[in-house]
Amino acid sequence: MLVQLPESRIARPRKRRRVQLAPAFVQDNEIGVAFNVPTQAISYSSNVTAGDLLVYFHYPNNNSSTISIADTIGNSWTQAGSTATTGINVFTAWYAISIASGANTVTGTFSANDAFGNIVIAEYSGVSHTSPFDAYAGNFYAAGSTNPISSGNLTTTAAGDLLVAYFFDQGQGLVTGTAYGINVRTTWQAATIGEGDGIAASIGAHAAQATASLTGTVQLATCVAFKAATNPRFAQLP
């Protein structure tokens, strides 16, 4: 004998939607390039996590630029953008999604021997695994008489992008903390080099800015936008 359930007790499929994850800072590190070398290695201070975004910035100082990257985990690195600086030096930004967890050392190979440039690496969670890169912008100040320094606008195509920024101020005026929507998390070499991040809440034009000196020295500000990940488990809607 079949019993008909009341309408209120009949189970119905529930709608689902993807939940966007908030990107989060994990770690960063910096190293000065040795004198007149074709490559330079730099290690993450702690183990990296599979699926996290890895970022590499190189500001050269000997008519050089990074042309390829390899790491000990075996990740595939992609160039996100570049900005010409002094002479024929070219600042480059690279990224990878880590295929495994563990200790990781990253080695950049240069177009010409570098001398006393610098490299910054960082790790972030909550970034898209399939197509993370969204946009790049960079701005070089030959006179170094600007405060704040700005990457110039990039245009995001997705809400909630992670903005990862690299700053250089030869006048040693970089300040840690949040200003202009970017949190400068770490500075090195007496506040000459800085790495920071922010979230672009809306689609459109965004720039990375930082407080700097006004001492007539060279400056650089760059920004890379990465798309946030979505939760593959979905969230149920009522």
Q: What is the pLDDT of residue 2?
A: 44
Rounded CA separation 29/48 (Å): 12
Instruction: Find out whether 199 and 161 touch, Cβ atoms under 8 Å.
Output: yes
**238 residues of the chain, pLDDT tens digit each:** 444 545 555 455 555 555 667 899 999 999 999 999 999 999 999 999 999 999 999 999 988 999 999 999 999 999 999 999 988 899 999 999 999 999 999 999 999 999 999 999 999 999 999 999 999 999 999 887 788 999 999 999 999 999 999 999 998 999 999 999 999 999 999 999 999 999 999 999 999 999 998 877 899 999 999 999 986 543 333 4
Rounded CA separation 101/72 (Å): 11
Q: What is the pLDDT of residue 86?
A: 84
Q: Specify which residues 179 forms β-bridges with.
A: 182
Instruction: Give the three-class secondary structure for 26.
Output: strand
Q: What is the pLDDT of residue 236?
A: 38
Rounded CA separation 101/95 (Å): 16
Q: What is the pLDDT of residue 210?
A: 95
Cα 68 → chain centroid: 17
Q: What is the pLDDT of residue 226?
A: 98
